[in-house]
């Protein structure tokens, strides 16, 4: 363990795990110093800390927090990070609005305090310029690394007093445009410019032109697979799994799912089935649940109340095992699925896993284990203890966005969602899928139809920044404008604004 203390973009001292001073060149940038230390101590955890926070640094907790080598942790108590709120104008992901009260997945790093393994610095840092701004360098390493499988977090427990901050310098518009040019597709610097013009009445033409001189780092070629992952956390104890399956009118498909579960090399304890049929007087059609013998206990609930949110909540309340598989009634999977999932949980020390979820003959685009921006309620595994304070939001029943919302609830409780591409669940998309019961929405009879859907607007208002919401508004406007005549531009703008306001109105009703 090597601790680098710094101030005013220069290293002030470096201390080893045995509290001995290490000599470094103090006239060079902090990033250069970290790279030199990474080559000098290739197996060490390298910690950085602003000297103003030295007495608050939680050195004793580092080993528990940094439980495998392919991680990057950082923390600042300030709500607005180095890049400012403007970064929300170019990124719609859940990694921008950071919950400072718990470990939260984000590539937004801070020079105040953090830790990374030397092996990661040697691989990624060697491909990225050691910028004179330490904050810029850290954010760049995390932004590039996160896509490639580096697990990056805001971690308040790095400091014993995490309400304290060192009030460091914030990026100006020149730095923000440069960062966007170097880490996003080219169109995003145009969208950033337009967002600032439209929503903040600014005209940053010089920062925009300045950014054009910088080379993009998004295509940085490197492989982090050489960094071994073996978490020191013990999140698997009993190895018990319950499976929940909401179902409605898919008897043969559900039977096939149960057959796949019965063939598992690691069997579930309970399979919790919530059967829905809103027809008055209807009864269960799932005779095979009792007519056949199954190698697990089936908990069957029949309800006349349709809706996936309600069904999943009913199922989650019946969970008894250590882990939960949120399954669907038209999935298929290999007999090693549950066994493989438990192995990955132990290897990475994670509480939530999501799998590849492809349809028949659909190509798989993502092949790197990384922090997922999505959550799938039909192909995810969650530690049961994580579910104590989360539920599917009934305001989103029969709408869209319940999976996004549930995933955000988990993240805001400190539980990251890790995607494993080698673990696959086949989604058959069986007939009568989706909304099998036609539901009349409250706004269906409105003359001006809300856009976006009020449920999507609800999720954005609940979990994303104001800048992210405004960017979504601008992008959706341009997408819809492409279908209109250029002569209808002004009238279309007014119509789009009315639909947006109508969506905001109905958010308050649901």
Model confidence, pTM: 0.94
- The Cα–Cα gap between 128 and 142 comes to 11
Enclosing H/E stretch for 47: strand 45-50
- Per-residue pLDDT band for 435 (boundaries 50, 70, 90) equals very low
The whole-angstrom distance between residue 137's C-alpha and the CA centroid of its chain comes to: 22
- The Cα–Cα gap between 106 and 263 comes to 38
- The Cα–Cα gap between 227 and 38 comes to 14
- The Cα–Cα gap between 39 and 132 comes to 19
Least confident of 76-85, 231-240, 287-296, 481-490: 481-490
Question: Which pLDDT score is estimated for 36?
Answer: 92
Domains of the chain (ranges plus CATH)? Answer: 2-172 (3.90.550), 241-427 (3.90.550.10), 454-507 (no CATH)
Question: Which pLDDT score is estimated for 440?
Answer: 78
Q: How far apart are the first and last CA of the chain?
A: 52
Query: Nearest to residue 14, comparing CAs of 43, 42, 54, 64?
Result: 54
Which residues, in sequence order, are bridge partners of residue 124? none
Say which residue, 272 or 219, is predicted with more confidence.
272
- The Cα–Cα gap between 143 and 323 comes to 31
Contact by Cβ (8 Å): 152, 106: yes
- The Cα–Cα gap between 106 and 138 comes to 12
Averaged pLDDT score across all residues of the chain: 92
Above 60 in pLDDT, residue 255?
Answer: yes
Above 60 in pLDDT, residue 229?
Answer: yes
Question: Which pLDDT score is estimated for 431?
Answer: 79
Per residue in 478-503, pLDDT tens? 888 777 665 676 788 888 899 999 99
- Per-residue pLDDT band for 375 (boundaries 50, 70, 90) equals very high
Above 70 in pLDDT, residue 437?
Answer: no
Query: In a 3-state reduction of DSSP, which class is residue 128?
Result: coil
Above 70 in pLDDT, residue 166?
Answer: no
Find the Cα–Cα–Cα–Cα dihedral 6, 215, 143, 41, rounded to 10°.
-50
The 3-state secondary structure of 402-464 reads HHHHHHHHHHCCCCCCEEEEEEEEEECCCCCCCCCCCCCCCCCCCCCCCCCCHHHHHHHHHHC
What is the token pair recorded at 88? 């929300």
φ, ψ for residue 37, nearest 5 deg: -65, -35
Contact by Cβ (8 Å): 382, 354: no
Per residue in 114-165, pLDDT tens? 999 999 999 988 788 888 899 999 999 999 999 999 999 999 999 998 766 6
Per residue in 393-430, pLDDT tens? 999 998 889 999 999 999 999 999 999 999 999 999 88
- Give mean pLDDT, residues 45-61: 95
- Per-residue pLDDT band for 18 (boundaries 50, 70, 90) equals confident
What is the token pair recorded at 305? 């109340």
Residue with tokens 């305090």: 113
Question: Which pLDDT score is estimated for 434?
Answer: 44
- The Cα–Cα gap between 491 and 489 comes to 6
Kindly report the number of other CB atoms within 10 A of residue 407's CB atom.
25
- Give mean pLDDT, residues 376-386: 97
Rg (CA), the chain: 25
Angle of the 454-463 helix axis to the 402-411 helix axis, nearest 10: 10
Q: What length is written for the chain?
A: 510
Question: Which pLDDT score is estimated for 486?
Answer: 58
Buried b (16+ CB within 10 A) or exposed e, 354-372: bbbbeeeeeeeeeeebbbb
Cα angle 15-17-19, degrees, rounded to a multiple of 5? 50
Question: Which pLDDT score is estimated for 509?
Answer: 86
Question: Which pLDDT score is estimated for 433?
Answer: 47
- The Cα–Cα gap between 177 and 190 comes to 10
Enclosing H/E stretch for 357: strand 352-358
- Give mean pLDDT, residues 44-64: 95
CA quadruple 25, 28, 33, 39: dihedral sign: negative
Say which residue, 477 or 210, is predicted with more confidence.
210
Say which residue, 438 or 205, is predicted with more confidence.
205
Is the bond preceding 255 in cis, omega lying within 30 degrees of 0?
Answer: no
Say which residue, 479 or 468, is predicted with more confidence.
468
Question: Which pLDDT score is estimated for 161?
Answer: 83
DSSP state of 57: B
Question: Which pLDDT score is estimated for 445?
Answer: 84
Cα angle 153-156-158, degrees, rounded to a multiple of 5? 90
φ, ψ for residue 152, nearest 5 deg: -115, 135
Beta strands in 51-92 (DSSP E): 71-75
- The Cα–Cα gap between 208 and 187 comes to 12
Contact by Cβ (8 Å): 320, 242: yes
Question: Which pLDDT score is estimated for 94?
Answer: 97
The whole-angstrom distance between residue 219's C-alpha and the CA centroid of its chain comes to: 21
- The Cα–Cα gap between 102 and 208 comes to 35
Report strand pairing: 113-117 vs 104-105: unpaired
- Give mean pLDDT, residues 305-322: 96
């Amino acid at each position: 363990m090597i601790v680098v203390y710094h101030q005013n973009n220069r290293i002030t001292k470096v201390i080893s795990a045995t509290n001995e001073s290490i000599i470094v060149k103090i006239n060079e940038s902090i990033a250069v110093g970290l790279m030199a230390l990474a080559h000098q101590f290739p197996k060490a955890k390298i910690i950085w800390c602003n000297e103003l926070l030295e007495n608050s640094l939680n050195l004793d907790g580092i080993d528990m927090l940094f439980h495998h080598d392919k991680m990057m942790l950082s923390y600042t108590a300030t709500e607005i990070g180095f890049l400012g709120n403007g970064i929300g104008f170019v990124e719609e992901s859940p990694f921008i609005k950071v919950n400072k009260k718990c470990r939260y997945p984000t590539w937004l790093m801070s020079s105040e305090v953090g830790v990374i393994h030397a092996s990661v610095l040697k691989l990624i840092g060697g491909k990225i310029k050691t910028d004179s701004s330490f904050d810029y360098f850290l954010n760049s390493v995390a932004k590039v690394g996160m896509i490639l499988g580096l697990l990056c977090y805001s971690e308040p427990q790095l400091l014993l007093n995490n309400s304290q901050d060192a009030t460091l310098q914030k990026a100006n518009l020149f730095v923000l445009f440069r960062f966007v040019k170097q880490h996003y597709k080219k169109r995003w610097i145009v969208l950033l410019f337009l967002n600032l013009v439209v929503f903040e009445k600014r005209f940053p033409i010089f920062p925009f032109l300045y950014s054009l001189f910088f080379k993009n780092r998004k295509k940085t070629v490197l492989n982090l697979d050489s960094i071994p992952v073996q978490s020191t956390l013990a999140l698997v104890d009993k190895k018990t799994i319950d499976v929940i399956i909401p179902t409605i009118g898919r008897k043969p498909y559900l039977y096939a799912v149960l057959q796949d579960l019965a063939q598992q090399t690691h069997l579930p304890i309970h399979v919790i089935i919530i059967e829905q049929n809103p027809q008055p007087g209807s009864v269960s059609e799932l005779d095979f649940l009792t007519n056949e013998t199954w190698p697990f206990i089936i908990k069957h609930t029949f309800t006349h109340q349709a809706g996936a949110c309600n069904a999943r909540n009913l199922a989650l309340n019946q969970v008894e095992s250590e882990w939960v598989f949120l399954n669907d009634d038209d999935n298929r999977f290999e007999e090693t699925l549950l066994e493989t999932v438990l192995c990955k949980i132990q290897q990475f020390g994670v509480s939530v896993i999501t799998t590849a979820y492809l349809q028949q003959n659909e190509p798989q685009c993502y092949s790197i284990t990384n922090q997922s921006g999505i959550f799938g309620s039909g192909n995810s595994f969650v530690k049961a203890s994580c579910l104590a304070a989360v539920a599917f939001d009934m305001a989103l029943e029969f709408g869209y966005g319940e999976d996004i919302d549930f995933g955000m609830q988990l993240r805001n409780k400190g539980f990251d969602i890790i995607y494993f591409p080698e673990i696959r669940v086949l989604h058959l998309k069986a007939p009568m899928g989706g909304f099998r019961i036609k539901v009349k929405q409250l706004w269906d009879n409105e003359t001006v139809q809300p856009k976006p859907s009020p449920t999507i607007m609800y999720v954005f208002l609940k979990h994303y920044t104001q800048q992210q919401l405004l960017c979504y508004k601008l992008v959706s406007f341009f997408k819809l404008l492409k279908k209109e005549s250029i002569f209808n531009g002004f009238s279309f703008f007014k119509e789009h604004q009315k639909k947006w306001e109508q969506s905001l109105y109905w958010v308050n009703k649901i």
